A and B are shown apart, each in its own frame.
Chain A
């Protein structure tokens, strides 16, 4: 059911975003954003951007009519859209957004013709305006416009048609448009996160598989907690999740089908399997399997079939993360005597160590941009660090008692990880940008660990 909705929505969003088939909303006709006007920005020094103010007033509506959303009528929904966009653009070290609760509400007629003199009196360089309209069948059309107030110029515009239940996706798409137009980076807000929700005492934590939007909304538990669940990974098409479960008593990797709410083992074996990972194209699954105490890395087709063993050394070889082109795999091994990071070709050949900087290095994850590898650097404390794929340019991004298991945002700009509190063992999910300067906690209903981002949604 969810799957069908997703596919349908994906079609609607992509078609209207590219202005191909969906009827353009009247009176505006959002199309693909222009790339030839306005600011040309590269983010080489975020500190210069801290003060880029963005005003985000309520989205206007021609007719205030009821909607099937949780937000209320189209007018209330317009304010809610502005709030979601404001929250997205906050806390990433680039912008200083002001939301609809502190701003005047522009009328519908001004959406395409902003009152620039009025806005220039405010502490904002950029203005995001938009509208929302409800069709008779309940579908919502949302238009989004980005203006440079000083230049009195439109920098970008886009529109989306969404089902009522997915209204927040329109806001995330708008925030993505603003973010990428102003930063020059790829978008990432319209994405989802799988993680492990934790409750209960330290010696008997209940751990449940859970999913949520990138901002924590639309939270849903997928397992009951009767079986310990760990280390989820969204498939690149969001149709399934790989994770570890003690379902039948021992740790095994399952693939959970989100449409059918069913799951199955990825490999028929009596041995324990750990550390599941998808290939970037979703065709392969990496997993680690222990045999007589030794753990090695294997791959299997997402369709099942024969497994191929990629590592074969005594000790523990575990994890594994593909380079974005699928040609290489970075993984963790203690073959040298302690946990260190190695790279091999996707067929297992040419295994070589890349971490040579003291301490232990664990849980490597290749950036979706290919230029960095994030990992857990253990030198007394556990810290999140990045290095280049050759093992150079080590940079430590966090400093806490125990930060571990980094995964990447879809655009490779933000790293998500979990932080464990000394003593209580309570875990929480955090995000840090590549500069290490902007760190924030992601709010979850209960404690959280093992966060893993899915890709940008279509």
Chain B
């Protein structure tokens, strides 16, 4: 299934906001930031920019590519995802002591239990791709949040597209 034009727009906006965030004092831990409430606070205090090898550095370096997005009910890695995961792998190879958790998420338009399993499947798809790029599987763990932790709060296609995601979070 091809990505919709709308999703491309979303991704672009995210990139821009990520770039802005990277220039600022604090890099949000998760992108995109939710439209309403305050974004999740950064783990790093970062007055002089993030410490190299930290989660804040990972987020700042990846500029939004720490998150990959999926089509409805799908878990396959498309070209855009592959490019993002390749950048993640590059960073992870630069800091071989770092471990990471890949969080799998779904949109709200699925039943709760199925979404827990689908989120796990998405996180695993991302993990397998990183392993294929040479990352030691022992460094990567997965966790599914199903539809329990959306980042976009609307009940519309644009929000759902942002919520169908796998987020790589490195462990400080």
Contacts of B120 in A (CB 8 A): 272, 290, 293, 295
A201 x B37 contact (CB < 8 A): yes
A319 to chain B: closest residue by CB:
B113
A290 x B144 contact (CB < 8 A): yes
A405 x B112 contact (CB < 8 A): yes
Given contacts A404-B111, A420-B108, A425-B108, contact A272 B116 (CB under 8 A): yes
- Interface with A: B60-68, B91-99, B148-156, which one? B148-156
Q: Check A35 for interface membership: any CB of B closer than 8 A.
A: no
B143 x A250 contact (CB < 8 A): yes
B113's partner among A201, A228, A274 (CB-CB below 8 A) is A274
B121 x A316 contact (CB < 8 A): yes
Choose among B75, B114, B123, B124 the residue with the greatest number of A CB atoms under 10 Å from its CB.
B114
Considering the chains assembled together, what is the distance between the CA atoms of A290 and B125 in angstroms?
Answer: 13
Contacts of A290 in B (CB 8 A): 117, 120-121, 124, 144
Considering the chains assembled together, what is the distance between the CA atoms of A201 and B37 in angstroms?
Answer: 9
B117 x A404 contact (CB < 8 A): no
Q: Check A28 for interface membership: any CB of B closer than 8 A.
A: no
Q: Check B49 for interface membership: any CB of A closer than 8 A.
A: no
Given contacts A203-B149, A292-B124, contact A230 B143 (CB under 8 A): no
B112 x A272 contact (CB < 8 A): no
Contacts of B172 in A (CB 8 A): none
Chain B: number of interface residues, binned into ranges:
20 to 34
Q: Check A205 for interface membership: any CB of B closer than 8 A.
A: yes
Considering the chains assembled together, what is the distance between the CA atoms of A339 and B150 in angstroms?
Answer: 22
Interface size on A, residues (CB 8 A): 44
Within 8 A of A (CB), among B90-147: 108-109, 111-114, 116-118, 120-121, 123-125, 128, 143-144
B111's partner among A228, A251, A295, A363 (CB-CB below 8 A) is A363
Contacts of B150 in A (CB 8 A): 202-203, 425
Within 8 A of B (CB), among A400-458: 401-402, 404-405, 420, 422-423, 425, 449-450
Q: Check B73 for interface membership: any CB of A closer than 8 A.
A: yes
B144 x A272 contact (CB < 8 A): yes
Given contacts A203-B149, A203-B153, contact A363 B113 (CB under 8 A): yes
Considering the chains assembled together, what is the distance between the CA atoms of A290 and B8 in angstroms?
Answer: 31
Q: Check B53 for interface membership: any CB of A closer than 8 A.
A: no
Contacts of A250 in B (CB 8 A): 143
Given contacts A249-B143, A293-B120, A293-B124, contact A205 B113 (CB under 8 A): no
A251 x B34 contact (CB < 8 A): no
A339 to chain B: closest residue by CB:
B114
A196 to chain B: closest residue by CB:
B112
Given contacts A288-B117, A290-B120, contact A230 B112 (CB under 8 A): yes
Contact bitstring A202-231, B, C-beta under 8 A = 1, else 0: 111101000000000000000000001011
Contacts of B108 in A (CB 8 A): 402, 420, 425
Choose among A201, A316, A318, A423 the residue with the greatest number of B CB atoms under 10 Å from its CB.
A316
Given contacts A251-B144, A423-B154, contact A294 B112 (CB under 8 A): no
A203 x B111 contact (CB < 8 A): no
B122 to chain A: closest residue by CB:
A293
Given contacts A201-B37, A203-B149, A339-B111, contact A318 B117 (CB under 8 A): yes
Within 8 A of A (CB), among B15-38: 34, 37
B154 to chain A: closest residue by CB:
A423
Contacts of A70 in B (CB 8 A): none
Q: Check A311 for interface membership: any CB of B closer than 8 A.
A: no
Considering the chains assembled together, what is the distance between the CA atoms of A228 and B119 in angstroms?
Answer: 16
Contact bitstring A308-339, B, C-beta under 8 A = 1, else 0: 00000000101100000000000010100011
Q: Check A362 for interface membership: any CB of B closer than 8 A.
A: yes
B positions within 8 Å CB-CB of A: 34, 37, 73, 75, 108-109, 111-114, 116-118, 120-121, 123-125, 128, 143-144, 148-151, 153-155
Q: Nearest 6 CB-CB pairs, A to B?
A: A293-B124, A295-B117, A290-B120, A362-B111, A316-B117, A293-B121
Known: A203-B149, A275-B116, A402-B108; 20 extra A-B contacts, CB below 8 A, are: A203-B151, A228-B148, A230-B148, A231-B113, A244-B116, A251-B144, A272-B120, A275-B113, A293-B124, A294-B121, A295-B120, A318-B114, A319-B113, A339-B111, A382-B109, A382-B111, A423-B154, A423-B155, A425-B153, A449-B112
Sample (15) of A-B pairs whose CB atoms are under 8 Å apart: A202-B150, A203-B150, A204-B149, A228-B148, A251-B116, A272-B116, A274-B113, A275-B113, A275-B116, A290-B117, A316-B117, A319-B113, A338-B73, A376-B111, A423-B154
